Structure 1
Amino acid sequence: MAYRPENEDRPAIEPNDVSAWDDTTRPFTFLNMYGEQVLIEPPHGPDPVLFGVRGDSPYHVLAMGNYLASMYNAIGWIIYLTNQGTEEHRSRNGEFIPYRNIDLMGIITNVAFNDKGHALITFDHNRKALAYRHLGISKELMNCIGCFAQVWGWY
């Protein structure tokens, strides 16, 4: 995670600056690009975050992060150890504890799309899930009504 001065506007991170590093460090870094869209930028709020590189290897995250931090004048950075991408945070099927990740299995009974292109999925037991368009599977879900599916995410 790299930081910028709070009193400066957050610069837009150029796709070409990230894509070469993303290609070079994959599979040790992941989900940093989606096609030509840069995913390492945070939402445009008042926070001091400049960008955040995702990866399994601190060496690869450090190489990519150092390059981008110097290019975009970061004032500091830190590497956090998380369980992102490990599935270690997944809970058992059927445990619905607020603010925890869950597994959900069932038959898809309906798929609708919101104005941003995210799929709103309804299961036979009236549980609901959302598939973000960035996953690249949203449109295919229309063909899955009646299919048994397993999803996991945040409750």
Structure 2
Amino acid sequence: MIIKGDRGIIGSIAAISYKPKEFTYELITYRPENEWNKNKREIDINSVIEFENKYFPYVFENIDYIKKYLLISPHGTDPILYGIRGIDANILLKGLNEIITNDKIDMAMIFKTNQATDDHINSFSNYFYQTTEIEGEISKIDNIRGGDVIINVNSSTIIVYKETGELNIASKLLKVGDTIRVVGAVKPSVKYGKIIEAEKIEVIKLNNKIFKNPECPKCNGSTESLGKGKGFRCKKCGYRFIGEKKLKEIPRELTLGIYQSRYYRHLSKPIYLNLIKENNLNIDIINNIIKYLVNFKNMYTYS
């Protein structure tokens, strides 16, 4: 047996003892020991794209389609060639034949993981470097220079970074009075003391009603307020009158639902994913995985 590392061993022991309520799989392939010191891995990106497009969403997050970048392989000198993620172990096994690589594969294993399960969320924690979730009505929102968005909900300050892509775009369409649920990491901040870095926002309720100044009774022009209790003045004809603001429904460019960061942590659950429940893992699946991997080992072991 080869044992390498220190904290990794502690993490491995913790993983063995941990039982998530929901889980995913990861198929990991390993290189022969004489190639562990190679940084470069030769994996055909088009074969990975074809594999994911064919079996999505049973396999996921193996390609960055925007940057056209492989997410399945490390870049250091270690035994791993690549690892593909999914929720169907039998489909992951097909990747051994469908993903094209010029590298030698010495062995492969399938791991049951808590990746993409939202297992890192601690709803009751507000400590630094924990991932929490809060729900409430937006009291203030600011688009700050550079593209980031600052949102105040209850007593919490949330930041939605420009780099979160679609999540940042959606956050710019939020308004005061909207009700949202935010998932994000709690971080220290020089300016705000404590801030939540949003990775997911669920829009629960949209505030689509606002109070607007009444129209001018003489020319139907828009008006401006002269101050509390002093009435209004028409911007077009100058007519002054006493009136009240009217409640008006406005169209919104945002819909109810969940918006997620373009790039997120490996524990974050993609919004399209239906996870495997613990009671759905049966012995037949396990036996099938073992048989397949044993046969693969016999076929592809290199001397």
TM-score between the two structures when normalised by the length of structure 1: 0.67
**C-alpha contact 2:39 2:75 (8 A) present in aligned 1:** no
Say which SS state the counterpart of residue 95 (structure 1) adopts.
coil
Which one of 48, 55, 59 corresponds to residue 86 of structure 2? 55
Structure 1: 4+ residue segments shifted above 6 A: none
Which one of 165, 169, 174 corresponds to residue 139 of structure 1? 169
**C-alpha contact 1:105 1:148 (8 A) present in aligned 2:** yes
Residue type matched to 1:103 in 2?
A: E
CA spacing shift, 1:22–1:7, aligned 2, 3 Å: same
**C-alpha contact 2:29 2:109 (8 A) present in aligned 1:** yes
Q: Is 1:109 paired with 2:109?
A: no
Q: Which residue does 1:82 correspond to in 2?
A: 113
Instruction: Write the distance in 2 (CA, Å) between the matches of 1:112 and 1:12.
Output: 43
Q: CA deviation at 1:46?
A: 4.2
Between 1:80-89 and 1:69-78, the stretch displaced more is: 69-78
Residue type matched to 1:31 in 2?
A: E
Q: Which one has a larger percent strand, Structure 1 or Structure 2?
A: 2
Say which SS state the counterpart of residue 113 (structure 2) adopts.
coil
The gaps in structure 2 that reach 5 residues or longer are 1-27, 187-303
Q: Which residue does 1:3 correspond to in 2?
A: 30
Q: CA deviation at 1:112?
A: 5.6
Say which SS state the counterpart of residue 31 (structure 1) adopts.
coil
Q: Which residue does 2:50 correspond to in 1?
A: 20
The gaps in structure 1 that reach 5 residues or longer are none
Q: CA deviation at 1:143?
A: 2.5
CA spacing shift, 1:154–1:6, aligned 2, 3 Å: farther
Q: CA deviation at 1:63?
A: 1.4
- Larger gyration radius, structure 1 or structure 2: 2
**C-alpha contact 1:34 1:134 (8 A) present in aligned 2:** no
Instruction: Write the distance in 2 (CA, Å) between the matches of 1:110 and 1:47.
Output: 45
**C-alpha contact 2:37 2:77 (8 A) present in aligned 1:** no
**C-alpha contact 1:122 1:129 (8 A) present in aligned 2:** yes
**C-alpha contact 1:18 1:38 (8 A) present in aligned 2:** no
Query: Identity over aligned residues, as a percent?
Result: 21
Q: Which residue does 1:96 correspond to in 2?
A: 126
CA spacing shift, 1:66–1:81, aligned 2, 3 Å: farther
Q: CA deviation at 1:66?
A: 4.8
Q: CA deviation at 1:95?
A: 1.8
Please provide the CA RMSD for this pair: 3.5
